[in-house]
């Protein structure tokens, strides 16, 4: 590249900050030298991630469910390749986190759904994967995520009620194996997963609640459901103790849940979980008796 190639290019500059201290000059020098490489590395990492997310968006069809009162729940659905209505297929219902709420019917695909949409996964485990989107301002479970505990309310949230109706409707529309319906969710959706299990303990063949929490008083309802829970040991958004308490309560009631805690990992405990092939092998191996 010669000088002519650089005409019209602006030099890289750092933004002005409203404060300065004795370390500013050293920090600025370090940032000027390293930030371009950091940005380049981040861009290179994001290329395959963006490609996978795009594949999920393409393969998960955008749909909407309306109840008897015309209330709407947006959702995305991944259908098995070469779907044959004469066969029965598993159904995975995924409840996303708080950051993916909205009305674009896309954000709920950000975490984990690209893993279900790969060629390898779809060939190995043909299944329906459904990801509803919770509207902005609503929750899968109307509880505080920062609390040490909570008591399950008498009725589910509107979004959870609609999710249950969606599951029922899909079973009428498609050939779904009623003994292989799986629940999965992270953060706000982790709470949703525990809540769904407690409200419909006889429906789900297995569940993967990630960095969530449930009502320990309802643990006896879950002793017969295969559960593999995950949480980061350094989570400051949803207390790690929430998962620990649920696991211990189920064990005390006679159940045998699995639990994986990632040391020194914060709230993002779903990244390692969805990247682990053993998780999918375990999930799709479960059948409701």
Q: What is the mean pLDDT of residues 6-35?
A: 38
Q: Do 159 and 132 contact (CB within 8 A), yes or no? A: yes
Q: Do 76 and 61 contact (CB within 8 A), yes or no? A: yes
Whether pLDDT at 67 is above 70: yes
Q: How far apart are CA 161 and CA 140, in angstroms?
A: 9
Q: What is the mean pLDDT of residues 71-77?
A: 98
Could you tell me which residues come within 8 angstroms of residue 166 by beta carbon, excluding any fewer than 6 positions away? 65, 73, 75, 130, 132
Q: How far apart are CA 225 and CA 207, in angstroms?
A: 8
In the chain, count H helices and then E strands. 8, 8
Q: What is the mean pLDDT of residues 194-216?
A: 98
Whether pLDDT at 14 is above 50: no
| Residue among 46, 255, 64 nearest 166 (CA) | 64
pTM of the predicted model over 0.85: no
The CA distances from residue 175 to 98, 246, 280, in Å, are 31, 33, 21
127-186 pLDDT, tens digit each: 999 999 999 999 999 999 999 999 999 999 999 999 999 999 999 999 999 999 999 999
Q: Which residue has the tokens 């559960």?
A: 227
Q: How far apart are CA 281 and CA 265, in angstroms?
A: 24
């Amino acid at each position: 590249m010669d000088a002519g190639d650089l005409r019209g290019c602006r030099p890289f500059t750092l933004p002005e900050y409203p404060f300065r201290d004795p370390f500013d000059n050293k920090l600025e020098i370090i940032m000027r030298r390293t930030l371009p490489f950091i940005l380049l590395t981040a861009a290179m990492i994001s290329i395959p991630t963006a490609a996978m997310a795009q594949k999920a968006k393409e393969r998960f069809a955008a749909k909407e469910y309306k109840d008897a009162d015309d209330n709407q729940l947006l959702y995305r659905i991944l259908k098995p390749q070469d779907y044959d209505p004469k066969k029965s297929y598993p159904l995975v219902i995924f409840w996303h986190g708080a950051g993916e709420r909205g009305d674009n019917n896309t954000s709920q695909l950000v975490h984990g759904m690209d893993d279900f949409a790969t060629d390898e996964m779809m060939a190995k485990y043909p299944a329906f994967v459904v990801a509803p989107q919770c509207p902005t301002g609503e929750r899968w479970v109307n509880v505080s995520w920062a609390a040490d505990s909570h008591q399950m309310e008498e009725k589910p949230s509107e979004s959870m009620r609609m999710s249950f109706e969606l599951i029922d409707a899909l079973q009428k529309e498609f050939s779904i194996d009623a003994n292989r319906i799986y629940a999965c969710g992270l953060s706000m959706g982790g709470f949703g997963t525990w809540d769904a299990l407690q409200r419909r303990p006889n429906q789900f063949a297995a569940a993967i609640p990630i960095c969530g929490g449930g009502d320990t008083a309802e643990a006896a309802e879950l002793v017969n459901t295969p559960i593999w829970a995950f949480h980061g040991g350094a989570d400051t958004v949803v207390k790690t103790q929430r998962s620990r308490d649920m696991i211990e309560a189920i064990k005390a009631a006679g159940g045998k849940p699995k639990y994986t805690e990632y040391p020194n990992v914060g709230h993002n405990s779903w990244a390692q979980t969805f990247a682990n092939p053993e998780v999918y092998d375990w999930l799709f191996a479960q059948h409701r008796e």
